[in-house]
Amino acid sequence: MDFSGFNLRLAKKINPVRSRTPEASDGCLRQPASNGVNKRFKTIYYISPQVWASRRGRVETIKKYIDKMLVIFEFEKEFYAQFGIEAEFTGHPLLDIVHPSMNKEDFLKSFGLGENSPIFSLLPGSRVAEIKNILPIMLESAKLIQEKIPAAQFIISKAGNIDKNVYALILSRYKLKIKLIESRQYDCLNAADFVLVCSGTATLETAIMRKPNVIIYKMGLLNYLLYRPLVKIPFIGMENIVAGKLVAPEFIQFKAKPKAIAAKVVEIFQDKKQYELTRNELAGIKEKLGEPQGPLRAAKSVLALINSANNG
């Protein structure tokens, strides 16, 4: 389950009397069994909560209740090492998922898009609140981009879980020719020359496909004021976090201004040297995500740990 609070509470609940007993000279965690013999437990956490970004107090809970972390970012292994927590980097699952369903030429023909005009893909998020907050900013930015690049074509990747009317209501306020494309995010990315993307998993998907992009995010003011002090890292976009530097410009909250966003998009897109440099940086980010079949490696690691415990 992708909910760290629940997962850590569950770890506590299923091992209420776990302790390091004097008999456990090997340092393994044990729990007294009904027959009086200490039974060894192995608790593994696959896909780490983002404790490196906020709420670092949870690291102590992980150290106490989790025997091994299976992490999907290489830097997470180094993060846990400083706390004496065993962690194995298995590779990111997205590497097995992020693939278009058709080639670019077929996609363009299917949706009536021109082959010789640049395509700007808008990915405004996968939650209603995100779309309502971020899509208007993206559309205002798109209008300004088109003033500088008249041939620009715009497409929106519609999240499959969001009603089409959510998009339609927002789009009706803007005089902008734009195609809303259902549940084809990877095809939209593959076709794009540039991407305006909501912060989240989509930033990594964009990086994997080596598409120059800008990251946009805006939330309710109260939520932002509560959330911001908890964040202990300089970037919000996962591609920048993985790179350890700013590869994709970030326009967050008060900085999410259409004029500034459009200016940066046009600057990168029209400067071919900068554009190709960005694509090379994105290729480096993809390499840092490891190799495909990460979930398989994670499963093998779990089996190895089980066998080790059974034989111990």
Residue 96 in any domain: the answer is no
* Residue 78 and residue 217 share a domain: no
Residue 64 in any domain: the answer is yes
From the list 274, 94, 284, 263, the residue with the least C-alpha distance to 189 is 94
Strand partners, 178: 154
pTM (2 decimals)?
A: 0.86
C-beta neighbour count of 72 within 10 angstroms: 21
* Residue 112 and residue 257 share a domain: yes
Two tokens, residue 224? 């932002």
Q: What is the CATH number of the domain that holds 171?
A: 3.40.50.2000
Task: Return the pLDDT at 16.
Answer: 54
Task: Return the pLDDT at 224.
Answer: 78
* Residue 136 and residue 74 share a domain: no
* Residue 75 and residue 210 share a domain: no
Q: Residue 119 sits in which domain range?
A: 104-288
* Residue 297 and residue 275 share a domain: no
* Residue 149 and residue 34 share a domain: no
Distance CA 172, CA 93 (A): 37
* Residue 118 and residue 82 share a domain: no
pLDDT in tens, the chain (312 residues): 454 556 666 666 666 544 444 444 333 444 455 554 445 567 889 999 988 877 677 898 888 888 899 999 999 999 999 999 999 999 999 999 999 999 999 999 999 999 999 999 999 999 999 999 999 999 999 999 999 999 999 999 999 899 999 999 999 999 899 999 998 999 999 999 999 999 999 999 999 999 999 999 998 888 777 767 777 788 999 999 999 999 999 999 999 999 999 999 999 999 999 999 999 999 999 999 999 999 999 999 999 988 877 776
Task: Return the pLDDT at 247.
Answer: 98
Residue 167 in any domain: the answer is yes
Can you state the angle between helices 201-208 and 272-288, rounded to 10 degrees? 110
* Residue 228 and residue 197 share a domain: yes
From the list 53, 46, 35, the residue with the least C-alpha distance to 69 is 46
Q: Specify the DSSP element, H or E, that contains 194.
A: strand 194-198
**Quick one: DSSP state of residue 245?**
S
